[in-house]
Every structure is written in structure tokens, then in C-alpha cells.
Amino acid sequence: MRPQILFPLFANTDVLAGVGPKVAQNLEKLGARHVLDLLFMIPNTLVDRRSRPGIANAIDGQIASFEVEIEEHVPPPRRGLPYRVRAHDDTGFLTLAWFHGRPDYLLRQLPPGQKRIVSGKVERFSGEIQMLHPDYIVTPQDADEIPAIEPVYPMTQGLAAKTLRKAITGALERAPELDEWIDPGLLAAKGWPAWRDALMALHQPTDLHVLDEDNPARCRLAYDELLSRQLALAMVRAHRRSKPGMPLTGDGSKVQAILDAAPFTPTGAQTRVFAEIEADMAVPERMMRLLQGDVGSGKTFVAALAAARAVEAGGQCALMAPTEILARQHAHSLAPLLAAAGLKLGILTGRDKGKDRARILEQLKSGEIDVICGTHALFQEGVEFHNLALVIIDEQHRFGVSDRLRLTQKGARPDLLVMTATPIPRTLALAVYGDMDLSKLDEKPPGRTPVTTRVMPLDRLEDVISRIGKLIQDGGRAYWVCPLVEESDKVDLAAAEDRYHDLKARFGDRIGLIHGRMPAPEKERLSQAFKNGDIQILVATTVVEVGMDVPEASVMVIEQAERFGLAQLHQLRGRVGRSSQTSACLLLYKPPLGEIARKRLETLRNTDDGFLIAETDWKLRGMGDLLGMRQSGLPRNRFARLESDTDLLETANTQARMIAQSDPDLSSKRGTALRQLLYLFEQDQAVRLLSSG
């Protein structure tokens, strides 16, 4: 149950004075359904109304406030001109002006001979000092109605700024004093205010720096938000570990058979990472490990070793990939390794129907299939395992969290290994995968050559096509990726089809076209034709970003590369350089280049370190869609800025793990306060775990 002290904050906004059904509807458009949402609405900027310079000293273009005496009203002589009101103070004259002003209303507001305080933007126009549409007009007795420093919030049509400010003031009045949940030593060291005081500082500021990154009030609220998320993840992790899993150990024979059959010596990183996985699998707690490996770092080989260990322990392994191409690619790579260890491999995708599907399902249920590769078809109804002991998920961010849960529910608490070829900055990994242990493959297998990356304008297109022509004559192969014009398959496809027809006119039947809207069998046929060399140039949309493994391909052309994200460009470049032959990636851009696009392409030209590229991408794009964020479960932060609040996140992560160890039930006095924190930031799932045991 939500603590009673928080009930006023979770009431709908229509409990506030001045908020009727229409205003409540407009507030909801801004994401404010409850009183708490108003408290958590951050101002976009602040307006300083403290300047009282006197009319003659006013600076053009700045906000100022004046106490003036109203002289006369001057209605417009013709339509289209403003309604004017003349006023003065001891230093000079001021014209107040309104377009479409209502005379009766303005006469009531500004009666001649009386004093008023006006506040707004000052402009010097035709030798006059004027204020167009003043923001505030009040009597001297009501001077305190004009805020000295005024927060400016996001707005929506039909909602007056004054109405929103009044609603937020009402929300502040309902905000209770809550017990402190931050460690006292940390609070003192940082000099942060109490929770309610931080909200007051945000919405009723007394200085212009409250929105700055290092302001104590903002930092306090950002830390609260990060702590709630990290504590929820730490509790999920602790809860998972409290439930027994299946210790997976074996005699090592199948693992050794794969090591002996490998056509290369495993890298130090592969050996280290498998040791971490092996140790996790051997204990009764469930493994939840994220394996990050740059393009071509050999994740599939590590997956084969982990699968072999699961089978040695009497279990089965399921590897789930986001696309059919990738699922079959994994099966193709795993087949020779698993065969050497005597393991039976199966594939299950949406394409498998009728008798074939029935046969695969029977073999899975009986335990005849040891390892199965597939798409989301693996967690559909009717799929039963004999003993699912290990689930491996590739490119997890392309699946919803529920997909992962549905697959792990096919076994008795199977271990989980999540793999991604998208290097994730540490900050992001903590924020999204804080309930997982992290492993990193940071070496490339021997025998791979560095890819030369060149950046060139589109007017060099003819040179590039000539180079591709020479490559074809020499029996080589190339990818040609077409631009992401808009977030629309149709538009992207048009660009790819145009380039395909251009190249086909030059090179004939050596060209193929592949895109996301094709049926899976057709995509696979084209991929195989490219692999076999029947097709030498594969024109594509970004469908080739993951899952294509053609060592003979040595050139990657990316048209209008400035339209792609850094991580995506790095993934695409990783499709070449998969053998010992010299490889190149040609980034064609359409001038002029924007500053961020230029930095992106320069970064790619200067490094092939995926982790460095990911960090740079993160900094360039901020909270951009680095991973397809919505699917990955990245929360929408209100106060925290992940790209700059790294230190706060690290501290929150450390504190959360300590709390989960020292007070796992949150039963202490501070634990009760922390429960309130979890509710405030809607991390209720963690509280439900506590109550469910």
C-alpha cells in the first residue's frame, strides 16, 4: 500500500484551487495528471524581474519593472495599430501598448491618475520607451504578486502561464515534510537541502542558478531520482538472488571439445569472460549477466561455451535473436562448434510451420535438441522445453522486457546471458542494466584487419563507383547502404531502389537489393547469394546492420552517412574487415555538414574502439535514442541528466547496493523513508517484490 502521507500528492490535479475539468485536461497534455507531476515539472528557464532601473535608465530588450502613474489612454486611430496608454515615473515617460486591446478592460486595469506597477520587456521604438503587452500589472499594495525571479514552464495551447503557476503553488502547499532517506553523512558533505526545500527552491527561486547542473537543490532532486531507480534495481537483483536457481556444473568435456575445435586461439578477453560466466553458472543463484562485445569480438564463441556448460549440466540452451537473419546467422556460426561437442542444434522462427514445426517442438520437449536458436517464436504458446537451463538473448534492446520474461518462464529459473554488439557507456549500463553483472569483450580475434575509413563528399560518387567496378573485376564484394531519409520504410526503400537501378545499369546482374520489408525467405536467399559470390554488390537499407557475416566482403559504402547515428555507423562498418584482406569503409556525406555530424564522422575516421565511440555518441546526442531507449527500459528522467550526472549515478548505485545488503526489507526508520522515495518516483515494482517475499 502507498503510504498515507503521500496520498495528497497522488490526487488528480482537479483537487487544486483554480483547476477545473478544462484546466485539468490541459495540464494532462503537459504530462501532469497528479499533484506530484506538477511538483516534478521543471521550469524551462527563469525570468529575472528584480530590475527597477527607472524608465529613463531601462535597457532595450531587457525585462524590467516600474512603478508608474497612468496619464492617458490613446485608442488607435485606425485598424491594425496598437492601443496605447501613456505613463510616467520621476525619470521619464513610458508607452504601454496592446494589439487588439479591449478599452473597457484596460481602463479598469489602468485608471488615469492612479499608480500601477508594470513588468515586461522594454523596447526603444521611434525615440520612445515602450512595453508591448506587459506581463504584469498590479497595484503598489499587491507588489508581491510579481515574482522577483519567475520560473517559466513548458506550455500548451489554452493554458495560461498564470494558471499553471497557481496550480504549482497549490501543489507545493500539499507537499508534506517527509523523513530523510539520504545518508546523513552524504547529505552533510554535499550541502543539499531537504526534499521539500529543494522543491520550493525550484518553483519559488531566490537566485538565478537553481537550474544549473551543480545547484544543490537540482542535484538533490536528481540524486533522489537516480537513487530510487538504482535501489529498485538493487532490490530486484537481491530478490532474484534470494530465489534458488539451478547450479550448472559439468565435467568440462563438451566445453573442451569446442575449445579444441575452434579454428583460432580464444582471446584473453574471451577466456576471462567465459570464466566469469562459468563461475555464475556454478552457483545456485540465477545468473543475470550482460555481455558487451564490440563488433567482431567473438560473442558467439563465448555463447557456444556457455551453451556447452549448460548441456553438460543436463540442461538445454535457447538463444533468442531479434531477426530471422540473425537467428540463422547464429545457428550457422554455432553449428560446427556444437557439432564438435556432439550437441544437437535446432532453429525455430516464425517461418517454421506444420510438420517441421511439430517435429522441432517434439525434439525440444523430449530433450533431443540441446541448443535452439530462434526469434520471438521461442516464447510463443506451445513451445515446451525438457529442461531449459540457460537463456541467451542477443541485442536485448530490440526486445521488450516482457519478451525476456516470457522466455525465461519456459524453464525452472534458467540462467540469463544478455549479449549486445552495441557498446554501452558505463553510465547507461548502470541506468538500464543495473540489476545485471557486466562483462566486456574488449579484444578482437586474431586474423582481422583494421578497416580503413574515408570520409568524402557525395560529389566524389563517380570515383567510388569506379572503385567498386574494379573490386568486382577482382572478384571482391561490397555493401552499399542507402540513407535513412526519414523514419519511414517507404522513403528509405525508394532511396535504396534508386541506387540499385543506377548500379544495375552499370554492373548488370552482380547487384542485389535487400531491405526490411522483404519476406524473410527472400532476405535469406539474397544473403546466401552474396555469401556465395553470385551477387557481388549488396545494396541495402540498415537491415544489414546486424547479423550479416560475409568475410569476403571488403568494402562498405554508406551514402549520406551524416544521417546515421555513430553507434549505427560503427555497426555497419563492422560488416567488413572480417578476414585478412584489406577492407575499407567509405562515408559519403552531403555538404554542408553540421557541427555534430562533422564530429561524428571524424570520430569514426579516427578510431575503431566501439566503447570510445559509444561514449562519444552519448556525449554528442545526450539522452538521444542511443539504443532504441523506449524498448530498453531507460526511464524518462525529470531531474537527472545522465550524460552529466555520472558522479551522482555512481554514488546512487553504491548507496543502493549497500542498502539492499544492510536493510533488504527496508524495515528500519530510514528504510520506511526509502519506501516513500520509491513510491514518489513510481518504482512500485520494487516495493511489491518486498511484500511478495
In a domain? residue 343: yes
Q: What is the per-residue pLDDT across 1-39, written as a single tens digit (0 to 9) for each? A: 789 999 999 999 999 999 999 999 999 999 999 999 999
Residue with cell 546515421: 564
24 within 8 A of 14, measured Cβ to Cβ: yes
* Shared-domain flag, residues 156 and 130: no
Q: Which residues of the chain have pLDDT under 50?
A: 485-490, 623-634, 692-693
Distances (CA, A) of 612 to 75, 575, 604: 65, 19, 10
- Full DSSP string of 544-586: GSSS---TTEEEEEEETGGGS-HHHHHHHHTTS--SSS-EEEE
Q: What is the per-residue pLDDT across 199-214, written as a single tens digit (0 to 9) for each? A: 999 999 999 999 999 9
CATH number, position 293: 3.40.50.300
In a domain? residue 170: no
Q: Domain limits at 265?
A: 253-441
* Shared-domain flag, residues 153 and 193: no
* Shared-domain flag, residues 285 and 414: yes
Say what the pLDDT of residue 686 is.
65
290 within 8 A of 436, measured Cβ to Cβ: yes
Say what the pLDDT of residue 506 is.
92
Say what the pLDDT of residue 339 is.
96
Say what the pLDDT of residue 351 is.
83
* Shared-domain flag, residues 487 and 597: yes
C-alpha–C-alpha distance, residues 604 and 606, integer Å? 5
Number of Cβ within 10 Å of residue 168's Cβ equals 24
In a domain? residue 617: no
CATH number, position 69: 2.40.50.140
Count of structural domains within the chain: 5
* Shared-domain flag, residues 39 and 64: no
Say what the pLDDT of residue 397 is.
56
The C-alpha angle with vertex 526 and arms to 520 and 528, in degrees rounded to 5, equals 100
- Per the confidence metrics, is the pTM higher than 0.95? no
* Shared-domain flag, residues 201 and 345: no
Say what the pLDDT of residue 635 is.
53
Q: What is the per-residue pLDDT across 170-228, written as a single tens digit (0 to 9) for each? A: 999 999 999 999 999 999 999 999 999 999 999 999 999 999 999 999 999 999 999 99
* Shared-domain flag, residues 373 and 266: yes
